Amino acid sequence: MSSPRTVDEHRAVVAALLDPMPAEDVPVVHARGRVLAADVVAGVALPSFDNSAMDGYAVRAADCTDAPVELPVEADIPAGRTDVPPLRPGTAHRIMTGALVPPGADAVVPVEQTDGGLDRVRVSVAPAPGAHVRRAGEDVREGDVVLRAGTVLGAPQIGVAAAVGRETLPVRRRPRVLVLSTGSELVAPGRPLRPGQIYESNGPMLAAAVEDAGGCAELLRFVPDDVEQFLGRLRERVSDAPVDLLLTSGGVSAGAYEVVKDAFRERGVEFVKVAMQPGGPQGAGRVDELGGIGVVTLPGNPVSSHVSFEVFVRPALRSALGHPHPERPVVTATLGERWRSPAGRRQFRRGVLDASNGTVREVGGPASHLLGSLARAECLVVVPEDVTELSEGSAVETWLLDG
């Protein structure tokens, strides 16, 4: 193995395995969390007609300047009425919130400022012209771009899309990602463990991370450290339906029985040492024999696996989705303790952040098997390659994990 690859070099290699995702149309009601593939132009204005902001009476403001005044009530306009008669001077129409303001009216008097009469109404306060009328187009004009391509669709974005009349939206197809764990020691949760065995946790963890990044994960049944079983499981699946990426875990370090390395070394995957901790041993490439599928081979230690996903895979998936923020949100925090860090490797340490003073501390320790501590972490703290010592109070780059 030659000199270690930098974190940034390996990020670029992984990112190049994924093409930008094509667009597909989905019903608006199923678009939550998806990334918009094209601008959305308003087909109707919002509001689309002048309507009442209150339950009350539509009037001409000029008829009420001498309030209190009494006016005959000539029509009743509930929300949804479409045949609204014009308002004659010197009269009122009873009107409900959201109902079309009749032609001729220029103000709405809230019911609280009247006696609520049905045949005649007594208006006790003179309205200003335009009072309680929501004007057509005051929020959105017809033809306005209401959502830009690249927007992540949350509740308000879905709301506005529906409000301007969209039934479907063009979104980026979610990348389909296979997840396959390896290890003869692995047992499915729910079964008894014998000494020397552990529950398989990387598969569920990585599948969740894929979904969280906007991808569509398919968790394959894990395999023991056996090249034929490993390749067999993949051949069987890949011939079935297209896949955008394969993530494996385990079997890539320097020991014996490194099943992923043994299977893929001569098949297009480059195995390297990346100058980082945790997560030094990495691999990436394309396997022609499996339909040219892009492969990222993550290390088996759970923390290494997770951190490698965060550093290499998550930004690649989100870039392919056209996401405006492929990276985790980054803040500068203050280190609440003293740290040492190895030279020549970029460290990603798990931290908890005290939001009251912006101080970060390590949770657990730097070792890569501490999954219990990882589960309590709120952030990753980055220690650059050339930093070997950090004093308490140092400013540290901190990636927020749940943002």
Binding site for ligand AMP (CB under 6 A): 181, 183, 185-186, 198, 200-203, 249-251, 253, 299-302
Closest to ligand AMP by CB, 250 vs 336, is: 250
Per residue in 24-48, is it b (16+ CB within 10 Å) or e — as a string? eebebeebeebbbbeebebebbbbb
Nearest to 139 by CA among 39, 51, 37, 221: 51
Q: Mask 246-275, x = binds Mg ion (CB under 5 A)?
A: ----xx------------------------
| 97 binding partner (options Mg ion, ligand AMP, none; Cβ < 5 to 8 Å by kind) | none
Asked if residues 174 and 214 have their Cβ atoms less than 8 Å apart, the reply is yes
Give yes or no for residue 283 binding Mg ion (CB under 5 A). no
In whole angstroms, the minimum distance from the beta carbon of 269 to Mg ion comes to: 16
- 395's CB contacts (< 8 A; 6+ apart) are 332, 333, 334, 335
User: From ligand AMP, Mg ion, none, which one binds at residue 253 (CB under 5 to 8 Å depending on kind)?
Assistant: ligand AMP
Residues numbered 291-310 forming contacts with Mg ion, rule: CB under 5 A: 300
CB-hemisphere CA count at 13 Å for 79?
8
How far is 311 from 367, CA to CA, in rounded Å?
Answer: 17
Q: Please, are residues 259 and 226 in contact by the beta-carbon 8 Å criterion? A: yes
Residue 186 touches which member of Mg ion, ligand AMP, none, C-beta under 5-8 Å by kind: ligand AMP
Tell the smallest beta-carbon distance from residue 278 to ligand AMP (Å).
Answer: 11
Nearest alpha carbon to residue 131 among 44, 65, 80? 65
Min. distance of Cβ 363 from ligand AMP in angstroms?
A: 19
| Per-position x/- string for 158-197, each x denoting binding to Mg ion as judged by CB under 5 A, each - no binding | -------------------------x--------------
Q: How far is the CB of 182 from Mg ion (least distance, A)?
A: 6
Residue 234 token pair: 């993949």
